[in-house]
Amino acid sequence: MDAVRMETDRGTTRLRADGGESVLSMTDETHSSRAIDPELVCILIPTLEEAATIGNVIDGFHEQGYTNVLVVDGDSTDGTRDIARKRGARVLTQSGSGKGQAVRESLEYVDVPYVLMVDGDGTYDPADAEAMLEPLAAGYDHVIGDRFAGMESDAMTRLNGVGNRLINRSFRVIHGAAYDDILSGYRAFTTESMDRLALESDGFTIETELAVECVKHGVKTAVVPVTYRSRPEESDTNLHPIRDGGRIIFTLYSLAKTNNPLFYFGSLGAGATVSGGLVACYVLIRWLWYGISHEILAVVAAAGIILGVQLLMFGVLSDMVVTLHREQRTRLEQMAQKNGWTDDERAIEGDGNADESQSERQK
């Protein structure tokens, strides 16, 4: 997969490839100027009742030179929007509800090629902005800020920590990419890459959907270590660990239907086959040892095994379709890239002999 981890210590950037990707490096000279002009970046902040922190968050990004700040608010009643406006941010009130809906809606109002998305609760550090954006200049389309790399000791509850690690492991197994912290709210991405993703999440499943869609559509993704601080005491979380955790795991699994159908249908098939097999064993033991027959249970066991095997076969076939689809897409992308290269070459050549190239084309 295209997951690459960037290790940054302000001045030296190293890209370490996972899965055999070539290793890039940036020199200190590159760092003397910013990788991406702050004027080309929109700082996107979804908020719900974040009056205690939003002012400092916006100020923090202004101090880093990022003045294009878009706050998308979920109709907060604590004055979040007024504070954001006074600090010079553009403020949008979302038409629906949930963080995911807010993010999806706000993308229509982004008028620059790069977006840096961050929570409005002051848990992320605006000083990490540049490191988050650097991979975009190096050709990546999506960047995930890895909170586990720089987490303050009390920044995450034990329950959230365990849940996050479980979800990251499941993601790795199901979707085959090591993104380290798929639920991170600190993301940088190109506006163009978002057009390729089909996002439907309304709530806290948006980060999961972003990660899965990146894998599915081959969006080049990098992971960057970031600082993660605890929420200030006066601000409250909007996350319900059990309810939202359950939704995230369900989303992770249901998105496997089109990204890893062998896992999705295979696990359902394996479940049905094993259940049918267990019932069949029970029926067989009762009949052999006690001479008691269970016709209905025997039918149920047979149906379970047949259904299970069919689901497994369906998983294998779907996997072939997805694999072929990926191959086709890669070929189309390669062709598009090749044509782009040819056009550039023609443009350069055309400077000197435009008439020649036109007559060649007419031939």
Ligand X SMILES: Nc1nc2c(ncn2[C@@H]2O[C@H](COP(=O)(O)OP(=O)(O)OP(=O)(O)O)[C@@H](O)[C@H]2O)c(=O)[nH]1
Interacting residues toward ligand X by CB under 6 A: 46-48, 50, 72-74, 94, 97-99, 102, 119-121, 123, 185, 231, 237-239
The helix (run of H) or strand (run of E) holding residue 191 is helix 191-196
When the beta carbons of 45 and 256 are compared against Mg ion, the nearer one is: 45
Q: Could you tell me if 199 and 104 are in contact, meaning their C-beta atoms sit under 8 angstroms apart?
A: yes
When the beta carbons of 47 and 273 are compared against ligand X, the nearer one is: 47
Beta bridge partners of 150: 227
Least gap, CB of 235 to Mg ion (angstroms): 9
C-alpha 15: how far from its chain's center? 19
When the beta carbons of 118 and 255 are compared against Mg ion, the nearer one is: 118
Q: Does 50 bind Mg ion (CB under 5 A)?
A: no
Within 257-316, the residues that bind Mg ion by CB under 5 A are: none
User: How far apart (Å, rounded) are the C-alpha atoms in residues 165 and 157?
Assistant: 12
Least gap, CB of 274 to ligand X (angstroms): 35
Q: Could you tell me if 5 and 180 are in contact, meaning their C-beta atoms sit under 8 angstroms apart?
A: yes
**Binding partner at 239 among ligand X, Mg ion, none, C-beta below 5 to 8 Å by kind:** ligand X
Stretch that binds Mg ion, among 50-58, 114-122, 124-132, 264-272 (CB under 5 A): 114-122
**Binding partner at 144 among ligand X, Mg ion, none, C-beta below 5 to 8 Å by kind:** none
**Binding partner at 120 among Mg ion, ligand X, none, C-beta below 5 to 8 Å by kind:** ligand X
Least gap, CB of 1 to ligand X (angstroms): 24
Residue located via tokens 């991170």: 184
Neighbours of 282 (CB within 10 A): 14
**Binding partner at 36 among ligand X, Mg ion, none, C-beta below 5 to 8 Å by kind:** none
Q: Of 49, 50, 121, 134, which one interacts with Mg ion (CB under 5 A)?
A: 121
Least gap, CB of 100 to ligand X (angstroms): 8
Which of 180, 229, 232, 231 lies closest to 207, judged by CA?
180
When the beta carbons of 46 and 276 are compared against ligand X, the nearer one is: 46
Least gap, CB of 244 to Mg ion (angstroms): 12
When the beta carbons of 73 and 181 are compared against ligand X, the nearer one is: 73
User: How far apart (Å, rounded) are the C-alpha atoms in residues 259 and 199?
Assistant: 14
User: How far apart (Å, rounded) are the C-alpha atoms in residues 359 and 363?
Assistant: 6
Q: Taking each helix axis from N to C terminus, what angle separates 158-175 and 206-216, rounded to the nearest 10 degrees?
A: 20
**Binding partner at 238 among Mg ion, ligand X, none, C-beta below 5 to 8 Å by kind:** ligand X
User: How far apart (Å, rounded) are the C-alpha atoms in residues 97 and 238?
Assistant: 12
Structure tokens at 268: 């359902």
Q: Of 2, 49, 50, 119, which one interacts with Mg ion (CB under 5 A)?
A: 119
When the beta carbons of 121 and 130 are compared against Mg ion, the nearer one is: 121
Least gap, CB of 246 to ligand X (angstroms): 14
Label residues 108-124 b or e (16+ Cβ within 10 Å = b): eebeeebbbbbbbbbbb
Structure tokens at 174: 């199901």
Q: For 98, left (φ over 0), alpha (ψ -120 to 50), or beta?
A: left
**Binding partner at 221 among ligand X, Mg ion, none, C-beta below 5 to 8 Å by kind:** none
Q: Which residues bind Mg ion (CB under 5 A)?
A: 119, 121, 123
